[in-house]
Every structure is written in structure tokens, then in C-alpha cells.
Chain A
Amino acid sequence: MLRVDTLRLAPLPPLSFEVAGGECLAVEGASGSGKTRLLRAIADLDPVEGLVFVDGAERGEVPAPQWRRTVRYVAAEPGWWSDTPRGCFAPEGMDTGRLDRQLDHVGLTRAHLDREIGVLSTGERSRLAFVRALQGEPKVLLLDEPTASLDPGSAALVEEQIRFQLYAGRIVLLSTHDAGLAQRLSHTRLKLPKPRVVLANDAGAA
């Protein structure tokens, strides 16, 4: 069970909601409305006031690295810190058949792990990051636009894997502009209001 209690993401009103195990919450809203900031706040990647509980433990009570092993944020544009994806995977799980299956499920092979990051397409990198996030079996997946950079075929594969994670009892929060994806996967939909355009600074700039 994930419980968010009065999370303050200005200029939004304080957010409170609950998502049970095996359920998916879709976060929708225009660009700049705070979808990414909400997911990052739950993963404790930005300092944001408010309480976030997973199975009763509040995020501030748990050491941050341990929290993020349970609550896994996957950025819309994933980062890589080595020449090939292999260097960005924990070495423990590398030789298991499980990783092979996970790669296969999203249309990738083990060979993709040894290609240069720069040679991989945006969609391949996005799917590799998705598989990378599944390692260590986090309880909560925070997926920032998981299918935005994918062709329809790959998007369907990833969607199926998200559903599989829900069957396994995991909690999934995903931000998306794809109303169809939100409708098919989510049990609850959270619509963030349009950001108000602030013109206060423009007057002095010219």
C-alpha cells in the first residue's frame, strides 16, 4: 500500500491519495503541470514537504538508498553512466535466465546489453531502462511516460509488462499523455490542473 499525505508541490493544492498493491494510478496533465515532480517527490529525489508511506514506513524514516530500492523511479529520458547498458546493471542478476526473459518480453535480446549507448535507439534505451528498473524487485514502480518514445508494437509489449507487474502485486504510478494507456492500465486517474502561466517576471525582462 502506497499512501501520499498532503504532499506540497506548489502551485498545486496539497495532494493526498492511496494506491493499493496490484493497482495502477495514472497521473495525467499538460506539460509542466507537475507529473514528473510528483513521481520524483515520491522517490524522494527532490526535497518536497509532505508524507509518503509504503506499507506503513514513511520515506524520511528509511535511509534514502533503501527507500529507492523499494520505490523505483524511471525517468522519461533515462541516464547511463557507462559505455554499454551492461555496466549500468547490477552484476548480481546478470547471468540469470530471468533477465533474458525480461529482455525478451520487451522485444530485446542480451546482445543489446553490449551495444554502445549512443548506437541504441531512444526506444531501445527506454525499454532497457524499464528492464533495469525491475532488477531488485521494487514494490512501487514510478514510470515517467513509459511508452512516449516507443513505436506501437514496443509500446504494447511494455504495456503488457506493466500489467504483469500489477498481477505480481506491485504498485504502479505512471505519468502519461496517452489517455488510452491510462484507461486500459489504471484503476484510478489523477488529473493535474493546467499550470497557470506566470507573467510576473516578463514585465521587467524587456
Chain B
Amino acid sequence: MTYVSLTPLDLALAAILLVVTAGLSLAFRLGLERTIAVSAVRMCVQLAAVALVLKLVFESGSSLATAAFALMMLAATAYEVGSRQERRFQGAASYLIGGAAPFVAGLIASVFAVSAIIGSEPWWSPRFLLPILGMVIGNALAGVTLVLDTITIAASRDRAAIEARLALGASRTDAMQDVLRRGLKAGMTPILSAMAVAGLVSVPGMMTGQILAGADPVDAMTYQVMILFLIAGATGIAVVLAGLAAVMLLTDDRHRLRLDRLTTVSKTE
């Protein structure tokens, strides 16, 4: 099997479909043509930049460059989770949890994968570590966003019930257990559904990519299964870390519910 390299002309051909969409937007006066153009250009620039940077990192093979790229992922994750919260913690806590939980969990899973399973030399070899780390963090991030959102909203809504339990002498972990459980469930749902329908509804992106690049479908599947296991494991760790942190932040050492530590963010699309 051969790997078919795409030329800029091939990309231009694919872009015709997008031009058609923009044309439809004009015809139906949806006013989306500008957004379509901006999004398309933005996507190209972002991916090109990442590809160039990755190429540089791979060629340098430097541990420092690998770490720097991983830290950039951490910053992007923190911003992504933090800025998506409907009710954010005062100060930087939402960003700290949002960055730390997926990153720590992702790092555990990826380092485990490259050292124990793949066995790349050295273990931090960027060509293996960075794509896996990115995929794992990207999924854990979605879970953590849901956990934080669910817990902060549920705690606000169920305030009377939580405070009734506290007033009757429950500890903060007892009083918040329903909220925590609901949050953890919400955070685990996407990855569990993804595993359940993998291959049935859509062939996962990575597997598609490998098959297009000439890999044997069975080999591609093997990699995909490993990645899904890693993602599920990392999401579990990240979701629990974020859930516990959120519960601790929403209560204090005197076992009080501290909704005053939340700020409501008006959602702007």
C-alpha cells in the first residue's frame, strides 16, 4: 500500500465544496459567508503553524522543545475549559483545575503508553508522546468541562438540599455526594458513548488517517483501541480530580457551602 501525498492543488479542489457552501449562504441570505471564510482561513493557519512547529520539534528531537510544546497544550487546555464555564470560580481556580486535571491525567496516560506499551527511545520522543498527549488531553478536556459545569450548576440549584444536610450535621463530602456523583457521571458520558459506537457510527479520526496513510486496517484498529483505552483511563482520572477539586472549592473547612466563590458569566456566543 502506498501513501498518497496531497498537493496544494488537491486542497484547492476540496475547498470548492466550501465555496459552494458560501454560495448557498449568499443565496439564502444567511450572512454566514464571512464567518465561513474566516473560519476556513483560521483553520488553515492554525494547522499549518502546528504542523511546522511539530516538524521543527521532531527534527530537533530536543526534550526542551517537547516540554515547551506540552506546556503550550496545557495553557490552551486551561483557557478552553475555564472560558467555557457558565459559573466560574472567582480568581483563576477554574483555569487552574481546567488545565491541571486534563494535563496531569493526560501525562500519566501518555507517559505510561510511550514507556510501557510503545517503548519509544527515548521515552519522551516527541513523535510518539505529543500526538498521544494531544489526543488524550483533548478528550479529557471535554469531560472536565462537563464535570465543572454540572457540579457548579447543580450546587447552585440544589443549594437548599445541600444546606439542609449540612444543617443536620452532615460533612461537606456527604452533603455534596449527589452533586459530585452527577458531575462524574456527566464527565464520563461522552467517552463511554464514543467507545460504544466506535466504528459503527463513524470510524475514529485517527484510524481513518492511518488507513488513508496506507496502514493495514487491522493495525490501525489496534492503535485506535489502545488510544481509546488511554483516553477512557485519562478521562476517568481527570474527571475525578476535577470533581473533587470543585467540591472542595465549593465548600470550606467549616463544612459550609460557599456559592459566593462562584461568579456567573453571561454567555456570549
**CA of A72 to CA of B171, assembled, Å:** 14
If A65-B170, A65-B171, A75-B160 touch, whether A81 touches B252 (CB-CB below 8 Å) is no
Residue among B168, B255, B256 having the largest count of chain A Cβ atoms under 10 Å: B168
Q: Which of B165, B168, B256 contacts A44 (CB 8 A)?
A: B256
CB atoms of B168 and A68 under 8 A apart: yes
**CA of A7 to CA of B214, assembled, Å:** 74
> Number of A residues whose C-beta is below 8 Å from B?
27
**CA of A132 to CA of B166, assembled, Å:** 13
If A65-B255, A79-B164, A80-B164 touch, whether A136 touches B158 (CB-CB below 8 Å) is no
B179 → A minimal CB distance (Å): 10
Residues 244-266 of B contacting A (Cβ, < 8 Å): 252, 254-257
CB atoms of B169 and A132 under 8 A apart: no
Residues 72-105 of A contacting B (Cβ, < 8 Å): 72-75, 77-81, 88, 90
Hey, what's the 0/1 contact readout for B137-166 against A, CB within 8 Å counting as 1?
Answer: 000000000000000000000111111111
CB atoms of A74 and B167 under 8 A apart: yes
B171: chain A residues at CB < 8 Å are: 65
Number of A-B contacts (CB under 8 A): 67
**CA of A159 to CA of B166, assembled, Å:** 25
**CA of A194 to CA of B161, assembled, Å:** 30
> Number of B residues whose C-beta is below 8 Å from A?
20
CB atoms of B161 and A75 under 8 A apart: no
Is residue A133 within 8 Å, beta carbon to beta carbon, of the partner chain? yes
CB atoms of B254 and A47 under 8 A apart: yes
CB atoms of A75 and B163 under 8 A apart: yes
A47: chain B residues at CB < 8 Å are: 252, 254, 256
Is residue B178 within 8 Å, beta carbon to beta carbon, of the partner chain? yes
**CA of A79 to CA of B178, assembled, Å:** 14
**CA of A45 to CA of B167, assembled, Å:** 7
CB atoms of B161 and A81 under 8 A apart: yes
B166: chain A residues at CB < 8 Å are: 45, 64-65, 68
**CA of A90 to CA of B169, assembled, Å:** 11
Q: A47-B256, A69-B168, A78-B164 provided; 15 other pairs, C-beta below 8 A?
A: A45-B163, A46-B256, A60-B254, A65-B171, A68-B168, A73-B167, A75-B163, A79-B161, A79-B163, A81-B161, A81-B162, A81-B164, A133-B168, A135-B168, A136-B169
- In the assembled complex, 22 residue pairs joining A and B whose CB atoms fall closer than 8 Å, in A order, are A44-B254, A44-B256, A45-B163, A45-B166, A45-B256, A45-B257, A46-B256, A47-B254, A47-B256, A64-B166, A68-B167, A68-B168, A68-B255, A72-B168, A74-B167, A78-B160, A78-B164, A79-B161, A79-B164, A80-B160, A129-B164, A136-B169
Closest 6 CB pairs of A and B: A79-B160, A79-B164, A79-B161, A69-B169, A64-B255, A81-B161
Q: Which residues of chain A have a CB within 8 Å of any CB of chain B?
A: 43-47, 60, 64-66, 68-69, 72-75, 77-81, 88, 90, 129, 132-133, 135-136
